[in-house]
Every structure is written in structure tokens, then in C-alpha cells.
Chains A and B, each alone.
Chain A
Amino acid sequence: MLFALLAAPTLIDTLLLKFFSEQTVNYVIWPFIQIGLVTVITTGWVAYATYLERKISAFMQARLGPMRVGPWGLLQPIADGIKLLTKEDFIPENADRWIFFVAPYIAVVAAFVVMAVVPFGPDWAVITDVNIGVLFVLAVSSVGVLALILAGWSSNSKYALMGALRSSAQMVSYEVSMGMAIIGALMFARTLSLSGVVEAQASDSIWFFFYQPVGFVIFVISGIAENNRAPFDLPEAESELVAGFHTEYSGFRWSLFFMAEYAAMVVVTAVATTLYLGGWYFPFVYKLEVAGYHNLYVAVSVIVFLTKCGLLLYLYFWLRWTLPRFRYDQLMDLGWKWMLPAALINIVVTAIGVVVIQGLHNPTGMRTIKSLAGGLGLTLTGKAIAIAFGFGNLFITAGVLSLINWRSRDFNLKKQRHKIRLVDLPKGKPAVAPIAAASE
């Protein structure tokens, strides 16, 4: 049964070739099937991410979460979707109607389009392998900020406007360190194609996380900030700005923003997985390919990829339900005084590491480089040096960041904190005995 299902692509292929030319099938029909599949899978993933978040938060908070719709509330996302779709589509009177209309669609499109270059697995599990995939991801995901600004501006509400201003400043700031963090990984991958990055890790049997622990941390933190998720959810900080940029939205349009937020989360986790956690690569899975089960190999790889994304997504939920929210200026401090210097240090140290590895390479003596065909293929010695540089960078970064920030107020708050005193006041006269009423 499973094998029949997995043989399906080949069957469909032969079936389609009976009706269309080979070119039409390869360049028009298959991409459309892939796009449809990825959209459906992403939407489902997004819908059930909300369910997962509600369940996980419930367990952290001594609750049960959704339990009514279906077994364990499994149909809750569908019920939510129906509710949101059937709600009144309300537009405030003084809103800029067209911009107000368009903004949610920009948000959703910007979030979903990135999925086009994300390699879910090898071979047919990637829609298109753009050779500048990483740049594409950065460029398109930053279009999302436009939707937020438009939504906040067109709502004609002060809360929405403040939310939009905050979000634009926040996303622009964190985009910088996010882009910088990626460079380190790209030095090892030697390509901008996302599939190429995964293949570089697969052919070398290592995750770039081990070469780039600092880069990974910066990327994940910046990604959370970029997605406007807690503890960086200032644009929609409900305790201050009610709902931030989407205060005035309701029903379907609101749900589009909601979907865009979760889709953007899925995108960032997918990119983080691709760049640092080996993407669809998992040890020993390739043996399926060797044994001849190509489609099964691809399917298992997709599952591996989604599992890795899911684990990162859990980190998102975990942080959101544990940490308080940053203040706006503190968020900017973190972005420009911590993340950006750390990313720059990461680039320098990684570059030195790569140069050292190349310099130590000696075809006759110590061999550090296996091949330069895909990524930077390293021998065991080379890997050891790269990992040493990666984790040594943790200390270098910590040191330099402390030097930069040691004078700032937030740096040593723990030392500034003060114990409260406990005093035992002398007791006054007990008022237990009745007191006569005041004289007339």
C-alpha cells in the first residue's frame, strides 16, 4: 500500500505523458502539482501549528487546551477556520479601504512564496532550486514588513500605527543580523542555493550547527524577532497596543495575518533547519536510495525535515509561554548591541577558521580538505578544527559582547538587585477591646 502510494509520482508521470508533451509535463504540470502540494501541506502545518501551540501552552499552564471539537480537540483548527471565514468582514469607516484590503494578502503571499525555494527533501520534494535561494528567502520575507506597515497605516488607528512603526523598526534591525549570521554557514556551503547547502552537509555527513553554533543562535533569535513572536512580540503586544498593527482587522482578514505569522514562523524554522540542522539529511536514510527505493527515500527525508522544523517550532512555543516581553528600546539594544556585533564576530572568526583550514591543508602531509566539489568537504582533522573554531567562537563572542555592553544598565541587573528588608514593627495597642464611640 505504502509502496504503491510512493510509486505514484512515476505512475502519474507516465499517465501525463500520454496527454501532454514532455516539456509541458516537466515545466508546467509538475510544478503546479508541487506548488499545490506545498501550499496544502504548509497550510495544514500552519493550522496544526496553532493547535500544537494551544496544546503545548495548555500543558505548561496546568490546563488541557482544546478538547471539545473532535478527539482531543483535533478538529479545533478547522472549527476556528470556519468561524473566522463566516465572520463579518468589517472595515473601519475612516480606513484607507484599498490598502486595508490588500495588506493581509501581501503578508500571506510574502510568507508562503518563500516555501518555493525551501528544499523539503531531495529530488522532487523541492519546487524550484534557485541558485540564489538564500538571497531570495531574505528578500521575500522582508516584504512581509510592508504588509504590516500598510495595515497599521491604513487602519487609521493610533494603536495600529504604533504597532506598525515598531514592527518596521524591529524587522529591519533584525534582518541585518539575520543576514550576517547566514554568511558563516555559506562559507562552508560555498553556494547560495538552499538545496546546495543541504547537499554540502549531506555529502560531508555533518550539520553546520557544529561549525556555526553562534550563527545558529543568532539566526534563531533574529528569526523569532523577525516573526514578531514573544518575547519580541512588540508590534502586537496585547497588553500595550491591544493587538498592534491588526487591531482593526477582524474575521477573514485577521485570520490571513494570523496565518501569515505562523507561515513566517514555519519559513524561518525551515530555513534554520536547512542552513544549520542538515535540512532533510539524516544519517543512514540514504541507504534506502542505495537499495533502490527512491520515492521512499524522498518521503522519509521530507518527514525528517518536517520533524526538525517541528522541534524548532517547539522552541518558539516554549519561549513564548515562558518569557516576559521586551520593551521597545531594550529590543533595539539587543538587536544592535548584541546580535549585530555577534554576527560580525562570527563572520570574522569563521573566515579565519576557513583560511586556517585551507592553509593547513597539505596534499602530502596533513589533509584537512577532502574535496571542493560541493561545499567545503573536510576530512576528520578539518572537521575537528572547524568545530573547535565554532565553539571557541562562543567564548570570543561572549567576551567581546561583554566588553561592548558592560557599561549598559541592563548588563549587570543581577548585581544591581537588592534584597528587601524584613522588619518587625512594635505592636500598637490592640484594638480587640471595644472602643467607645466618640462623644457627641
Chain B
Amino acid sequence: MHQVEIATTRESLLDAPEMTLNMGPQHPSTHGVLRVILKLDGETVMDLDCDIGYLHRGMEKIAENRMYTMIAPYWDRLDYIAAVSNGLVWVETVEQMMGLDVPPRAHYLRTILTELNRIASHLLWLGTHALDIGAITILLWAFREREEILKIFERQFGARLTCHAWRVGGMPNDAYDEFESDVRQFINNFPKRIDEYETVLSENRIWLSRTVGIGVISGEDAIALGLSGPALRGSGVAWDIRKSRPYAAYGEMDFEIPLGENGDTYDRYLVRMEELRQSRRIIQQAIDNLPDGPVNAKVPKLIKPPVGDYYHSIEGPKGEIGCYLVSDGTQQPWRVRVRPPCFINLQSLRKLCIGHLVADVVAIIGTLDIVLGEIDR
């Protein structure tokens, strides 16, 4: 409402046209190839439109022409920051459709590795978000810890970014020999590091004035827009698929969900920082109770889910990442549809940004934690 008033008075008094500013697709802080078309009055955002699709690869269509096992690597390329979590939703969908009984050790390893991936993804978010707001050092500190996680991934999966971590029915191989000690070492050092980040940011006057009250969205609006993940929990809506529809070994874990009060950028920041701590807690429990046994179910030679459709979703680092799969009983799916958290979270950008300044647009894109690989698919 406030903004509309500005528009009318300015237009009537000065007849000044708005300035259209193209932000992206080549821009340092649109987190990839997002193009934001801003209508500006001075530096105030009057209107905004997102142009996406610069990274479109037709993942869902490709999946229709591939066998079930061949589709899994494509999922790594959706949200390439969180390839492990993305891969999990695909294999779990197929497993559940086929009724495979995945052994508990595989479930526990999946829990540990997806939580590590959540930490890695949140660290990348923290670094880039702080970088967008101007604190450069945090980026490199966050990458220091992320590197430890990527080293674990490299030893476990053979790749750092696009891991291709899972197979239908379990894991490609058991955890490597020093897996437990590596993970323990990481989670023992990690709390100190989180405190370090918080020392630099949480109480910082400039950080507070840049994030408090910026990009406010109420819980009702967040639900109406379909937000999920930390963006939703920052507005105080208690929704976490790890709790409400537990998958892998989350049903046996003891952890809490952080909820914000005001739904602004600062709350989303605090929620994610707390999620780092909770993730660490989950890993600690999982590694303490890691059962022995096989890591693979008995999987038929040919993967042919029964005819029908199925939806499964998990709590990815950015929100609810889901897979809707329609099978016609052959070796290839008839239709695959991704429920992309970033794509849906990005829809709130216009609502969050209008009335703020250009600098806040960058902060809000950062706080939504988008990855263009998943938005464009």
C-alpha cells in the first residue's frame, strides 16, 4: 500500500518514468542464471518479474526415455548443491512403489549422508548470503567446513558435487573404513565453527539492520504461496517432512524444529543456523546407533514398478523436494514430475521484494536459497 502511494504521487508530480533494470542472467548475485526484471523508482523496487529457463535441460522429459537406474544421475543435476538429498527422493520413490525392503543400515547411512549434505548446502547458503550482504570472509569460512564434508563424499561416492549416491534398494557400497571416524571428527569440530559464524554475524549491527524486517512474509501467505523448508519455518509454520512423514531413519531420531517468529530475513537466517546444529545432532545419534548388516535389499534384475502413480517427498535442504512418478509397468517411467522447492519458493520473490531497495532484492534472493539447476530443470 505504502509503495502504491509513492507511485501515484511521483507520477502525478514529476511524471517520472520508472527505470527498468535487468538483473541477470549474468549477475554476480542472482545465484546462477536467474534474470530479475526490476522496475525501479530511484532505488525502490516498484515491481519485479522473474525470467527463468536459462538452464532448462528438459530433465522430466529425458526421464521418460531412460530406464529407472539411468534416471538417478539426472537428479543429482537438479539441485547440484544438494545432490545427495535429491538422489534420495528418486530412489525412495522407486523403492516404495516396488515395495522393496531396504535394510536398516542403509537407512541410517542415508540419514547421515543426507544430513551432511544439508549442512553442506546450508553452509553454501550462509556463505553466499553473507557475501550478498557484503561480508566476504564468512564465505571462505563456510567453504572450509564444506570442504570436510565434500572430502567424506569423495571417499564414499567417488565424487564431490554430483555424487550419484544411491541405488534403488540401498547403497552402491558400504561405508568406507574410516567413515565413522571422519564423520565423528567433523561433528565434533563443527559446533565451534557455527559459533564462529554467529560471532561475526548474529549480533552485528550492520547485519541486523540489513536483515531485520526485510522480506517479511506471514505464515498464512507462506502457506498460500506453497513455500517449504526454512523459508516456511522462518514464518513460524511447523512443517518438516522429516517429522510429519518420516523417511529413511528419521523416525528414530530425536531432534527439534526451529521456528521463526516474524518471517523476515533475519529469522530465516537464525532458523538455518539452528538447523545446522540440529543436523549435527541427528548425525551424532545416527552414527552412535549405526546398525550392522547389509546395505542392499534384494532387488530384481529388471526394475519395473507396478502400473500406477506414486508421490513421495523428502525434506531437502531448501524445502520439500518431491517426485511424482507414473509407471506403465515398463522399464521406463511414463511420466516423472519433480516438486521443486526452489521454483516454488522463488514465486514469493515479488511479494517479498516490492517496496524494498535494490540492495534488499539481493538479500532476499539470498535468503530464499535458490538453485537455478532445480528451478529450470
Contact = CB atoms under 8 A, between A and B. Distances in A.
B172 interface: no
A238 to B, nearest CB: 6
Interface in A392-440: 409-410, 413-414, 416-418, 420-432, 434-440
A328 interface: yes
Consensus secondary structure, chain A interface:
loop
A428 B246 contact: yes
Residue with the greatest number of chain B CB neighbours at <10 A, chosen from A231, A423, A435: A423
A433 to B, nearest CB: 8
A263 to B, nearest CB: 23
Given A329-B357, A431-B245, A62 B140 contact: yes
Interface in A215-272: 230-231, 233-234, 237-242
A425 B144 contact: no
Nearest to A234: B359
B375 interface: no
A434 B28 CA distance: 45
Nearest to A434: B99
Interface in B233-256: 236, 238, 240, 243-249, 251-252, 255-256
Interface in B280-295: none
B249 A432 contact: yes
Contacts of A434: 95-96, 99-101
B19 interface: yes
B206 A231 contact: yes
A325 B243 contact: no
B144 A437 contact: no
B356 to A, nearest CB: 9
Contacts of B238: 423, 425
A290 interface: no
A423 B255 CA distance: 9
A428 B271 CA distance: 22
B245 A437 contact: no
Contacts of B140: 61-63
A327 B98 contact: no
A266 B165 CA distance: 53
A162 interface: yes
Interface residues of B, number: 78
A427 B207 CA distance: 36
Contacts of B271: 420
B245 A322 contact: no
B210 A238 contact: no
Contacts of A158: 19, 21-22
Counting chain A residues whose Cβ lies within 8 A of the other chain, the interface size class is 35 or more
Contact of A432 (B136, B137, B251, B360): B251
Given A432-B249, A432-B251, A324 B210 contact: yes
B17 interface: no
A8 B356 CA distance: 63
Contacts of B97: 437
A327 B274 contact: no
B29 interface: yes
Interface stretch (B113-121, B125-133, B148-156, B182-190): B125-133
Given A422-B256, A422-B274, A423-B259, A428 B243 contact: yes
Contacts of A426: 243
Contacts of A425: 238, 240, 243-244, 257
A243 to B, nearest CB: 9
B246 A432 contact: yes
B358 A162 contact: yes
B349 interface: no
A5 interface: no
A237 B134 contact: yes
A143 B359 CA distance: 27
Nearest to B208: A413
Contacts of A67: none
Contact of B207 (A63, A324, A416, A440): A324
Interface string A38-80: 0000000000000000000100111100000000000000000
Nearest to A327: B359
A16 to B, nearest CB: 51
A413 to B, nearest CB: 4
A439 B310 CA distance: 10
A327 B258 contact: no
B137 A428 contact: no
Interface string A311-326: 0000000001111111
Contacts of A162: 21, 43, 358
Nearest to B365: A239
A159 B204 CA distance: 28
Given A418-B261, A437-B306, A240 B362 contact: yes
Contacts of B132: 239
B96 A322 contact: no
A428 B135 contact: no
A391 B361 CA distance: 42
B309 interface: yes
A440 to B, nearest CB: 5
Contacts of B136: 57, 61, 320-321
Given A63-B140, A431-B246, A239 B29 contact: yes
B369 to A, nearest CB: 15
**Top 10 closest pairs, chain A to chain B, by CB:** A325-B134, A430-B251, A61-B140, A425-B243, A239-B29, A413-B208, A324-B135, A422-B256, A324-B134, A434-B99
Given A410-B208, A425-B244, 10 more contacts: A233-B134, A240-B362, A241-B358, A322-B137, A322-B200, A327-B357, A409-B209, A422-B256, A432-B248, A434-B95
20 contacts: A62-B144, A237-B134, A322-B135, A322-B200, A323-B134, A324-B133, A325-B134, A413-B209, A418-B262, A420-B261, A421-B260, A424-B255, A425-B238, A425-B240, A432-B104, A432-B247, A434-B100, A437-B305, A439-B308, A440-B307
Interface of A: 57, 60-63, 158-159, 162, 230-231, 233-234, 237-242, 320-330, 409-410, 413-414, 416-418, 420-432, 434-440
